[in-house]
Structure 1
Amino acid sequence: MHIPGRTFVVSGGCSGLGQACVRLLHNLGGSIAILDLDASKGEQLAQELEQSQRESQGRVKFFEVDVSETESIQHAVRGITEWVKSTGHELGGVIPAAGVGLPGKVLDRSDEPISLDSIDYVLNINLRGTLDLIRQLIPHIAKNKPLSPDLERGVLVLVSSTAAFEGQIGQLAYSASKGALASVTLVLARDLASHGIRCVTIAPSLFETNMTAMMGDKVRKGLESVLEFPKRGGNPEEFASLVREIIENKMLNGTVIRLDGGTRMPSRL
């Protein structure tokens, strides 16, 4: 799929992996709907991108969204579809990058079970929020005029994690949410094949984001010690580069791509 002239919806678009995707796709000529809870950062980012290029006027718009709330997503989707009609840039893809992590062992030091509230918090944003955003946007993508010769209409790029495969101690809810996204990748590709919509999932390892920025030095050094090459966390721009390849390469479909520098996480550091 060609990026220029298409609209891409990015949740969690004000920081980390999501923001890197927003910046790259915008620079490549795409129109971007930025979804995030942080209204001040969202408006600031949209204004910055609008001012960065003369020809970018009208190609970026921010929508304040809580992806754990269906009504909030509905409101944003209505706004996005109205905006798309005004620009004439059809919906080309969805990158649900909003995500959280809340460590907690199944049993704590007092042998008390993990709270259901903490599990729900992670699952509602990482899993439910992703699927809800997709299901609400897919009907609009399916109505696109198909692009010849392959009759492609759109692409979904989900964000899983290597924790889906090598979840560490204390990653119960996080691994459950990211493992589920890896599992539904092929299902979505198969369900949407007749509509010309692809689905690919990226499973990054340690990347420099707001989530990893909260790590202590001991944890970070422990993580870096098990990295193969390169011996560092990934840059969000490297993640965005793979997103671009997925969008442009129509043969990428129904698969999960690890973006981990060969790393395989141990159970503990």
Structure 2
Amino acid sequence: MEPVVIVGGGMAAARLARRLDAPTTVIAGERHPAYNRVLLAGVLARQYGPEVIALPAPGPGVRWRAGVRATAVDTAAREVVCDDGTREPYGTLVLATGAAPVLPPLHDGELPEGVRAFRTLDDALADPGERAVVVGGGLLGVSAAAALAVRGVDTVLVQQGERLMERQLDAAASTLLREQLTALGVEVHTECRVRRLRPGGVLLARGSPRPEAGGRYELAADTVFLACGVLPLSGLARDAGIAVGRTGGIVVDERLRTSQPHVHAIGDCAEHAGVT
């Protein structure tokens, strides 16, 4: 039986690995075992520990390579190249690379000290300090802000749009959500754009609703969490000549097959009929 290689160790990859009846290798990337990413806010709030959101372990036929990242796919040789110098041969390759947080333009490509995305278990386990700023008022940002407030962290939520969770909620529901966050102690600012990230806080664009003393539009924070949306992680596929669609996802058909034989894609990285 030909081996299956899955690139990515998230929820989609873990579930698939448990269901396959073939020798399977998972190139997981993260150092942690697979976990339910939807429940990260509860870990951030310290309402429960990482063990609560852990997913069931794959069976004995699965080799789980934690902390190893795929750097290239050689479709001619049918091998995955890893960052530790090893190569994993495959009969079938499944790309389950997920999505990456949207980040603002960065100096030297590095996040300033104290600034992190809210996307992984390591992000949820990090010590936020006494004061935090959450940038982004979508589902992830709202969840992070509420979790921090429940934990007793002085929290400010900054949203560029007119209201919170504007993709999911109408104006009335968004107003109720804002009232709930305020009741938890979250300071909420909408129509407020971040101009610059820096160690120790953020600088807001001029005209934002909260100028500091001396006319400086600045929010101080021990930690800044970025929750500005996500984009499919499809660079590995693109570099291998596999078709990527208009949303940035890896194009798949109704059987999750990509444009390259023996290669499939599942989860947040996949795009079907123009939708990720």
Please give the range of the TM-score, normalised by the shorter of the 2 chains: 0.3 to 0.5
TM value normalised by structure 1? 0.35
The structure carrying a bigger helix percent of its residues is: 1
The structure carrying a bigger strand percent of its residues is: 2
TM value normalised by structure 2? 0.34
Higher gyration radius (CA): 2
